[in-house]
Structure 1
């Protein structure tokens, strides 16, 4: 199986798991934040298949951090965008320091899966 296809499927699966984590009672909210970072990681891997480790980890982490930081903005237009269903999932709502930790954990988890499982199985 081609790596780009694997990353695409993993991204889709992560979207389903992320949405389910918000809909199923009893799953802590931070699980969705971790899965968000996993999705971003696999999305960037799909886009930049042959990137070096700094880009594999750094770009998704920077993206997640910037998304979280933009939540500090109270611009009326940005708030209105965040209130729509799709953009609420993408941009989130309300800055939390703990989300930065969740994003770091999610990207670390995705990188570990990538290095120790995907690279072993997909050539």
Structure 2
């Protein structure tokens, strides 16, 4: 992967963040399967593009590995419930970042989000190279 355009990745992170928050507000209008996976998949995708913004020279595989390890780490920390951490989770922003409770399905959702980001990068890189 060539060096990423940081402005594109910043814009993508903002749009994805908005879509993820919107997906949490529209649960009454979305199919159940979308409600289960959309927010967490978009969160993982946002982590992927944010890592691309922070580390524009890294290879796609490295960004993907960083993002998936980060997402899994956050998910597994949800098994830990110290009062100080749970107080952070009670705050809306703290809850969005740290989550509330461990779910195996979130691991699948994170995998989907990071895979989508990696696929998009590979596809866009191939498209640019062939043009």
Same fold (TM over 0.5): yes
Between the aligned partners of 1:57 and 1:79, the Cα distance in structure 2 is: 29
Higher CA-based Rg: 2
Aligned residues: CA RMSD: 1.5
Query: Would you say the 8 A contact 2:68–2:111 is kept in 1?
Result: yes
Matches for 1:99-114 after TM superposition, within 5 Å: 99-114=106-121
Who is 2:21 aligned against? Answer: 19
Distance 1:7 1:119 in 2: 18
Count of aligned pairs: 120
Q: How far is 1:119 from its partner? A: 6.8
Equivalent runs, 1:1-123 vs 2, <5 Å: 3-24=5-26, 25-27=28-30, 28-117=35-124, 120=127
Q: Could you tell me which runs of 5 or more consecutive residues in structure 1 were left unpaired when the two chains were aligned.
A: none
Cα distance in 2, alignment partners of residues 18 and 101 from structure 1? 16
The structural deviation recorded for 1:111 is: 1.1
Task: Give per-residue Cα distances to partners, 1:62-116, cap 9 Å, x unaligned.
Answer: 0000000000011011011011011111111110011001101100001111221
TM-score scaled by structure 1?
0.91
On the 8 A contact 1:22/1:29 being kept in 2, the answer is no
Distance 1:53 1:116 in 2: 11
